[in-house]
Amino acid sequence: MSRRTVTILWVRRDFRLSDNPALIAAVEEGIVIPLFIWDDSSSMAQDSGARSKSWLHHSLEHFSLSLGKLGSRLLVRRGTYMRVLREVILETGAQSVYWNRLLEPEEIALGGHVRETLEDAGFECKVFDSHYLVTPWQHFTKQGEPYKVFTPFWKAALQADFYYPPLAAPQKIKSPAFWPKSAPLKDLQLEQPDDADWIVEGGWNPGETGAFSNLSSFLDGQVQRYKQKRNRPDLDLTSMLSPHLHFGEITPRSVLFSLLHTMEAGHPAEFDEETGTFVAQLGWREFASYLLYHFPHTRTEPLRSEFQAMEWVNDPDAFDLVRMANTGYPIVDAGIRQLNATGWMHNRVRMIVASFLTKDLMIHWREGAAWFMEKLVDADCANNILGWQWTAGCGADAAPYFRIFNPVRQGESYDPDGIYVKRWLPELKDLPSNYIHHPWDAPDDLLKKAGVVLGSTYPERIIDHNEARIRALAAYDQIRISKPA
């Protein structure tokens, strides 16, 4: 058999069989060697927190089982990308390497280096797009500039020709007569001792099957209430698809076409308001990747340059209290408890927590972004940066800086009965709902009856929000005054 019929499928972050263009193309060529490489020096390894690494372990495990059912297997190696690719090419006689593109700045550079090196050596490389509905180099303003505002970006994106159906999974994968040696998955040391606890607590089911199961549950009644109830952390009405999308266990195209099928629509323009709101959230994911692609400096610097002059506060003790869920603001502490227990936090609460850190405490958004990357199971570089810069007021489409979330009002608006707070802060479970978001205002006899001792069973506030708001606005006024004309 010709050596050219052997293709290495470089599995980067696309652990699925369906709608996997690199896999489908490789299967059509002949023999396929699916290869996952763990490079300890890579951005994937460096940026991944413990929960994200754990999810990766389970995702790889499920993907390997799926490949096995089609007569294939997942080859796992540890080492630098180019060294491992060269080794496997020599061991298998492969002449082609296929992969699906990733769009983080470091991953773009890596893919470009691999492609250039291999093609210079005479090997065929084919790169495919599957992580997003649209590619970031497709859309610009009439002035030829990248969009910095979501609505016109998404309006233009919806006009793109991306409404082709997702690709069906292959029925069989041709395997080599002899497989190269593969490292046991446990040797990557991705799994953590508390995996069982947080996976069960979060109700997670990593892998492609789990992704489609989540999607099916969401479409079965939840999406119809999405616009009205998505901001309610006390209700389970979000799709919980974010980690599945991040790890490529499902594609946004598969999600979109499942929605189109369920709603009997031919185009997103036909969706009702509830479904359209959810699709717009897929759009924000696209927008985050688009922004990071065109403005890679936003990985560490604000998109709005005037925020370079912002005087942030260096207060590690206060930050430690935040991370330990000891702020004294129940909606903030509940969100952090949820994060610590499950690797996930409701999106509305993420905004509340981010506002509290960057505006009440004036701690740099970069510190918050690094914290979330470490703790979140769905830690995604682009989405994380967009979210923190949006809340801090220094990014694209940013909330005005004077929009400072009041944690008490946010709690009262989006957790009116205190169900979310009481779930994650059981020490407050006997406090009446009219005081649950501001226990410091409760009468002493009521606190005593509820078994709450501020400063003991539940912490005192680490800062007064009203005073903090005045300080934050004064700091913003300074950069407005100093901004060049």
Over the stretch 457-466, which tens digit does the pLDDT of each residue have? Answer: 999 999 999 9
Which residues neighbour 216 within 8 Å (Cβ) at sequence distance 6 or greater?
Answer: none
Alpha carbon distance 386, 359 (integer Å):
17
How large a percentage of the chain has pLDDT more than 90?
84
* Residues 283, 143 within the same domain: yes
One domain, residues 136 and 126: no
* Residues ≥6 apart with Cβ < 8 Å to 334: 233, 325, 349, 415, 420, 421, 423, 424, 425
Do 35 and 143 share a domain, yes or no? no
442 DSSP assignment:
S
Q: Are 349 and 247 in contact (CB under 8 A)?
A: no
Model confidence pLDDT, tens digit, residues 300-341:
999 999 999 999 999 999 999 999 999 999 999 999 999 999
Confidence of residue 5 (pLDDT cuts 50, 70, 90): confident
Work out the angle at residue 349's Cα, subtended by the Cα atoms of residues 212 and 392, and round it to the nearest 5 degrees: 115
Identify whether residues 119 and 244 lie together within a single domain: no
Does any domain span residue 220? yes
Q: What is the CATH number of the domain that holds 70?
A: 3.40.50.620
Does 338 lie in the same domain as 465?
Answer: yes
Helix, strand and coil percent figures for the chain, each rounded to 5 = 55, 5, 40
Residue 4's pLDDT band (cuts 50, 70, 90): low
User: Count of domains in the chain?
Assistant: 3
Q: Name the DSSP class of 165.
A: P
* The pLDDT of residue 3 is above 70: no
Q: Is residue 197 part of a domain?
A: no
Of 294, 323, 350, the position where a domain reaches its end is 294
Higher pLDDT, 69 or 275: 69
Q: Has residue 364 been placed in a domain?
A: yes
Q: Which of 261, 294, 327 is the last residue of a domain?
A: 294
- We report the CATH number of the domain holding residue 250 as 1.25.40.80
* Domain boundary, last residue among 256, 272, 294: 294
pLDDT (0 to 100) of residue 482: 60
Place of tokens 């951005």: 43
Q: Is residue 285 located within the same domain as residue 312? A: no
CB 230 within 8 A of CB 191: no
- Is 99 contained in some domain? yes
Pairing relationship of beta strands 6-11 and 31-38 according to DSSP bridges: parallel
**CATH value at residue 378:** 1.10.579.10
Residue 60 has pLDDT above 50, yes or no: yes
Q: Give dist(CA 153, CA 479) in Å, integer.
A: 28
221 and 72 in one domain? no
Q: Of 267, 281, 269, whose CA–CA distance to 227 is shortest?
A: 281
Rg, C-alpha atoms of the chain: 24
**What does the pLDDT read at residue 159?**
86
What whole-number distance in Å separates Cα of residue 40 and Cα of residue 42? 6
Does residue 187 form part of some domain?
no
Range of the domain at 266: 132-165+208-294
Please indicate, yes or no, if residue 431 is contained in any of the structural domains: yes
Q: Is there a single domain that holds both residue 91 and residue 140?
A: no
Q: List pLDDT tens digits, range 126-178.
A: 999 999 998 999 889 999 999 999 999 999 998 887 778 999 999 999 999 99
Map tokens 């912490």 to a residue: 459
pLDDT at 2: 42
Sheet harboring 124-128: ordered strands across? Answer: 75-78, 31-38, 6-11, 96-100, 124-128
176-204 pLDDT per residue, tens: 999 999 999 999 999 988 888 899 999 99
**Rounded to whole angstroms, how far apart are CA atoms 126 and 134?**
18
* Statement to judge: residues 141 and 266 lie in one domain: yes
100 touches 14 (CB < 8 A): yes
Asked if residue 190 belongs to a domain, the reply is no
Angle at CA 84, nearest 5°, toward 80 and 88? 175
Q: Is the pLDDT of residue 1 over 80?
A: no
Q: Indicate whether 149 and 272 sit together in one domain.
A: yes
DSSP state of 7: E
Same domain, 125 and 138: no
Predicted confidence at residue 481, as pLDDT, reads 66
- Same domain? For 232 and 124 the reply is no
* Domain contains 254: yes
